[in-house]
Amino acid sequence: MEEIQGAKKGCPRCNEIPLASATACEACGFPLHEASAAPFPELETPPWYVRWGCYFVDRIAAAALLAFCGGFGALIHHPVFCAIAGGVAFFLLRDSMSGGRSPGKRMGGTQVIDRATGFPCTQQQSVRRNLPLVIPLVNMIEAVLVLLGSDRLGDRWAGTRVVRPRIPGRTESFALRCGATIAVMSTIAALGVLAAIAVPNFIAARERANTRACYANQKTIVGALEMYRLDKGMKPEETPALNSALYGQLLTGGYLMSLPTDPGQGPASTDDYYLTDASENGIACRVHGSVDGRVPASRPFPHSRPHRHVRDTR
């Protein structure tokens, strides 16, 4: 963990001379070394599980305040507004309390300080560093940065950092470890919910795009066959089967620029297209069906001579 050497005289943050038995500076609230007679400790960046545990405790405090404000707001007939205003205000300003220590950070023995001056976090800095946590997806990035031991985006924007006194042989409290474990489980659950929502939507959107591209290919093939028959003087019912030989003639004659492939089915999916009724320029795909909907979007036909299996029933 990264260490910061404290000052040799006075409080490491404000240079005030504290009492020898003091555990925190009376001027700025900076936590001093509690396990040593020397009141000027080295500082370190707390590990990720400590920071997650502190954050989880702050979330519980924010939820409790939200419920309290909602109950108070019910008396003035604005429960939702009061609940949201109280919860958001606490969540954004929590790191400016008690000399840079929110309720969770006080429990975990950590503090938010100004990166340049070392003074406790101000209200403006607290709002800046906590604002990204209320933005969807950005808060997930913040959690990953803490897990990797890097500075959060909010800390970089506000010019702050989270520190604690370095105490050799420190052991974390049971409550803090439980809070960190619950925070990890909550994050994993949130990621699972997002994946459960996003993945099906992505798959459905890709399938819709593939279907539209397949219908565009069918229209291209129909146009190429019409020009081919006009040049050859053929009747629609004399159109040969849509196979590699016919595709070769269409490419050689310039009726097609390239072989059409069924989107999403790979480069060898040209055979998915077949004639349903040559007399009406009927084209369909084994996967996405036909443009007019007369052939359903499925794979109901075998690969061998499928055009004989679909007839006009009108």
Q: Which of 172-186, 188-202, 212-226, 261-275 has the lowest mean pLDDT?
A: 172-186
pLDDT, position 173: 59
pLDDT, position 280: 61
pLDDT, position 304: 36
0.85 exceeded by pTM: no
Question: CA-CA distance, 213 to 38, in Å (whole number)?
Answer: 73
pLDDT, position 261: 82
Question: CA-CA distance, 252 to 210, in Å (whole number)?
Answer: 27
pLDDT, position 40: 45
Cβ atoms of 115 and 154 within 8 Å: the answer is no
Q: Which of 9-13, 62-66, 97-101, 281-285 has the lowest mean pLDDT?
A: 9-13
pLDDT in tens, 86-136: 888 888 888 888 888 888 888 878 889 888 888 888 999 999 999 988 888
Report the amino acid identity of residue 80: V
- Residue whose C-alpha is closest to residue 58's, from 103, 111, 101: 103
pLDDT in tens, 232-269: 888 877 778 788 888 888 888 888 888 888 887 777 77
Residue 297 DSSP symbol: S
The residue with tokens 């990621």 is 191
Query: What is the helix (H) or strand (E) element at residue 114, kind and residue range?
Result: strand 111-114
pLDDT, position 160: 92
269 contact partners, CB below 8 Å, separation of at least 6? 261, 262
- Helix spans in the chain (H): 48-75, 79-93, 103-108, 123-130, 138-147, 153-158, 174-232, 244-252
Report the amino acid identity of residue 65: L
pLDDT in tens, 137-193: 888 888 888 888 888 899 999 999 898 877 666 665 555 566 666 666 666 776 677
- Residue whose C-alpha is closest to residue 163's, from 95, 218, 219: 95
Q: Is the pLDDT of residue 313 over 60?
A: no
* Ranges of each domain in the chain: 44-172, 205-308
Structure tokens at 1: 């963990």
83 confidence band (pLDDT: 50, 70, 90) = confident
- Radius of gyration for the chain, computed over Cα atoms and rounded to the nearest angstrom: 34
pLDDT, position 204: 84
pLDDT, position 22: 59
pLDDT in tens, 53-82: 888 888 888 888 888 887 777 777 777 888
Q: Is the pLDDT of residue 294 over 80?
A: no
